């Protein structure tokens, strides 16, 4: 797998390195941050269950993501975040053509709860956000699909411990994602059994991550 570095551009009326549902930044009261972010990823190997393989019908899959975001500080601890990504996904070979379009619009809140502020700062972040598809894109094309094409609501708890002197931090988070129904472009599908319907109940999902890093002033 080859992964290129994500490039981030910020146009802002405040000082902010990033504003998303995975970082530990919050806005000041009534501060506004407008952000445009670009990401570039590519893969040439894929997993089918536990089997790692190449796929001659796809070759190297390249995904470009342009994300527009608006962030507003409702208070010094509560931030409102809105995001809308545009994706372009293209294979390097085979018969499948590239696909592109707007994915899911996201709106949510992030609240910071300071716990300790000494040589080491400890903070908790509570986040709640929802997303909805902005168009009826095809969700059955595997890695070529823009997304799951369903409504989603997520609640996340994140902790951050940071050493004030060195800027070193550890940041674990856990979230539960509640997902709704998606509509297929056919009236029959098979999972563990056959269903004569174009409606699929997308399973809910737990997500977790642990980030280790260093903030450079």
pLDDT band at residue 15 using 50, 70 and 90 as cut-offs: very low
Q: How much is the pLDDT for 110?
A: 97
Looking at the predicted structure, is the pLDDT value of residue 78 above 90? Answer: yes
Measure the CA–CA gap between 56 and 91, rounded to whole angstroms. Answer: 10
Write down the domain spans for the chain: 2-214
Structure tokens at 212: 């280790």
Q: How many residues does the structure list for the chain?
A: 217
Measure the CA–CA gap between 41 and 58, rounded to whole angstroms. Answer: 15
- C-beta of residue 151 within 8 angstroms of C-beta of residue 179: yes
Find how far residue 52's CA is from the centre of its chain. 24
- Enumerate residues 6+ apart whose C-beta is below 8 A from 15: none
Picking from 10-19, 125-134, 151-160, 182-191, which range would have the lowest pLDDT averaged per residue? 10-19
DSSP 142: G
Q: pTM for this one? A: 0.81
- C-beta of residue 46 within 8 angstroms of C-beta of residue 59: no
């Amino acid at each position: 797998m080859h992964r290129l570095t994500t490039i981030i551009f910020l146009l802002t009326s405040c000082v902010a390195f990033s504003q998303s549902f995975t970082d530990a930044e919050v806005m000041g009261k009534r501060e506004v941050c407008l952000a445009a972010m670009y990401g570039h990823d590519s893969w040439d190997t894929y997993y089918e269950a536990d089997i790692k393989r190449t796929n001659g019908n796809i070759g190297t899959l390249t995904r470009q993501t342009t994300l527009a975001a608006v962030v507003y500080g409702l208070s010094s601890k509560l931030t409102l975040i809105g995001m809308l990504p545009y994706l372009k996904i293209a294979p390097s070979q085979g018969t499948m053509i590239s696909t592109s379009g707007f994915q899911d619009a996201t709106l949510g809140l992030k609240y910071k709860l300071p716990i300790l502020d000494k040589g080491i700062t400890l903070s908790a972040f509570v986040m709640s956000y929802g997303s909805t598809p902005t168009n009826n894109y095809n969700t059955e094309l595997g890695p070529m699909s823009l997304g799951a094409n369903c409504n989603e609501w997520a609640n996340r708890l994140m902790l951050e411990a940071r050493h004030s002197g060195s800027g070193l931090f550890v940041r674990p988070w856990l979230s539960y994602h509640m997902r709704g129904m998606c509509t297929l472009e056919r009236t029959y599908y098979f999972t563990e059994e056959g269903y004569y319907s174009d409606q699929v109940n997308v399973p809910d999902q737990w997500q977790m991550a642990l980030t280790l890093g260093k903030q450079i002033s």
